[in-house]
Amino acid sequence: MSTGVKPESVSLCPLNMAAAPEQPVLCIFGTGDFGRSLGQRLLQSGYRVVYGSRRPHSCGPLPPGTQATSHEAAAQFAKLVFLCIHRENYDFLETLAPQLKGKVLVDVSNNLKKNLYPEANAEYLQRLIPGAHVVKAFNTLSAWALQNGPSDANRQVYLCGNSAEAKQSVAEIAAKLGFTVLDRGSLSAARELEDFPLQLFPEWRLPLRLAVGLTAFFFFYEVIRGIVYTYVDQKKDNSFRIMVSIANKVFPIVSLIMLALCYLPGIIAAFLQLYRGTKYKRFPDWLDQWMLCRKQLGLLALAFASLHVLYTLIIPIRYYVRYRISASTISKITENKTSVFDTTSAWRGDSYYSMGILGFGFYILLGISSLPSVSNALSWREFSFIQSKLGYLTLLFCTLHTYLYGWDRFLYPSTYKWYTPTGYMLSLIVPTVVLVLKLLLMLPCLDRTLTRIRRGWEKSSSENAIEKALLT
């Protein structure tokens, strides 16, 4: 496989650059991973690429068909220059100010942490070379994304700059590479763009905080009811239950609540639209943020449900439980006792397990359909059917699973230790509310009105038209 044209074997003369005038020439300063990946992608899109390097004769393998020379020579043959170098190496650009005057400089740099410098890299570059048109772009992409093409996680190119023509030139290149361009305005937005790659799971912060909060609350709640209460009331030490039994109570509780929280914002939004009589008014910011993180809430809920399944499979094979089962069996055989088969308990047990298995199966289906590779293969109607219709069915099965688990325990005073309800009772509040509200929205009168609103009908405009008709 060819490693590219050797720099010393190529002369950058105007004749070579004019060999194919229909192909624009673009310059890249920097021969690192990002610079090489960007050059390869530009070549595949029909551009000619020339590299500027401090060591043009020993800069390593470059994409086949590219040329490498000094920064000064490379800048002479292109109107647009990609700066694939770090900010600390910008100083040499001052000496190239005459060659870069009037040209578009695309700054793709990022920093190691926020607020490392008093001003954004792109703003510093513009101050360093005032005669050039600096555009901040491509810094949110990785070398891997450039090599493999735009994917669902990396299909957008954010840019900003003070020159509309310069931004248009960069936007055309990005579009030709297969990316979607989002203009963020003037160069003053560069700081915001440079902070994007430094963010750690920004869309997961709220779901993760919620998951940690719910887990911590219900864990200590169950420890107080199951461990502390037993020790105080009965002088029994069953603290060993913290590792498996208590955890296996907390996981399904958190999973059910978070699954319900995936669908609650949609319910709230529907009632807001019914109340307002239009779909054209913005939702509150908190509701917008909540709706944007529903996927993350659902995936975390699936993770907790999976842990519940694993812990449930582990519990019967623990040594202590096996010992208790074997001891109980021996005692019954010794006493020659026979137990009467309880059909009601059998129905309850089978129904309980059946709802749990069906709920977890649909859980898995929801998680698989949320993967980009799967969702891209589905039409919008198919995706909506799985995530909405089957999603509510999943919530119904999981809620029934929890109700069957409790059965009639809520009737016994012994259930309320220190006058507190069990954790599973608390976990049923949110999903029950969601299911009841969903049933209300399914009523023909509400469903018909909501459908009309989402198709563009507005209550105010309709009322105004009636009033005008009556007046005339």
pLDDT at 7 over 80: no
For residue 323, what pLDDT is reported? 57
Phi, psi of 27 (to 5 degrees): -110, 140
User: Rounded mean pLDDT of 379-408?
Assistant: 92
DSSP string, 71-119: HHHHHTT-SEEEE-S-GGGGGGGGGGHHHHTT-EEEE----SSTTSSSS
| Average pLDDT in the chain | 85
Longest dimension (CA), the chain: 105
How far is Cα 74 from Cα 80, in angstroms, rounded to an integer? 11
Q: Provide the 8-state DSSP code for 187.
A: G
Which one, of 400, 422, 401, 396, lies nearest residue 411 by Cα?
A: 422
Taking residue 309's Cβ as centre, other Cβ atoms within 10 Å add up to 16
- Distances in Å between the Cα of 20 and the Cα atoms of 41, 47, 157 are 19, 10, 28
Q: Which residue type does 303 have?
A: A
**Residues 381, 175, 191, 143, Cα dihedral to 10°:** 90
Taking residue 193's Cβ as centre, other Cβ atoms within 10 Å add up to 24
Task: Say if strands 25-29 and 48-52 run parallel, antiparallel, or are unpaired.
Answer: parallel
Three-state SS at 124: helix
What percent of the chain is modeled with pLDDT above 90? 57
Place of tokens 């509701």: 287
pLDDT tens, 193-235? 998 888 777 789 899 999 999 999 999 999 999 999 999 998 8
How far is Cα 224 from Cα 306, in angstroms, rounded to an integer? 25
pLDDT tens, 420-448? 999 999 999 999 999 999 999 999 999 99
In order of start, what are the domains of the chain with their CATH numbers? 7-198 (3.40.50.720), 202-335+350-471 (no CATH)
Handedness of CA 183, 185, 190, 196 (dihedral sign): negative
What tokens were used for 264? Answer: 């609650």
DSSP string, 389-432: IHHHHHHHHHHHHHHHHHTTGGG-GGGSGGG---HHHHHTHHHH
Task: Say if strands 133-137 and 156-161 run parallel, antiparallel, or are unpaired.
Answer: antiparallel
For residue 150, what pLDDT is reported? 54
User: Rounded mean pLDDT of 144-149?
Assistant: 76
Q: Which residue has the higher pLDDT, 2 or 303?
A: 303
pLDDT at 4 over 50: no
Three-state SS at 240: helix
Q: Provide the 8-state DSSP code for 326.
A: H
Taking residue 337's Cβ as centre, other Cβ atoms within 10 Å add up to 8
Phi, psi of 207 (to 5 degrees): -60, -40
For residue 171, what pLDDT is reported? 95
Cβ contact 27:17 at 8 Å: no
pLDDT at 463 over 70: no
Q: Model's pTM, two decimal places?
A: 0.70
For residue 425, what pLDDT is reported? 95
pLDDT at 458 over 90: no
Q: Provide the 8-state DSSP code for 388.
A: I
For residue 19, what pLDDT is reported? 41
pLDDT tens, 76-108? 888 999 999 999 999 899 999 999 999 999 999
pLDDT at 162 over 90: yes
pLDDT band with cut points at 50, 70 and 90 for residue 5: very low
User: Rounded mean pLDDT of 305-327?
Assistant: 71
How far is Cα 134 from Cα 18, in angstroms, rounded to an integer? 26
Place of tokens 């459908």: 451
For residue 153, what pLDDT is reported? 46
How far is Cα 163 from Cα 103, in angstroms, rounded to an integer? 11
∠ CA 461-463-466, nearest 5°, is 110
∠ CA 263-268-270, nearest 5°, is 95
pLDDT tens, 250-264? 999 999 999 999 999
How far is Cα 177 from Cα 175, in angstroms, rounded to an integer? 5
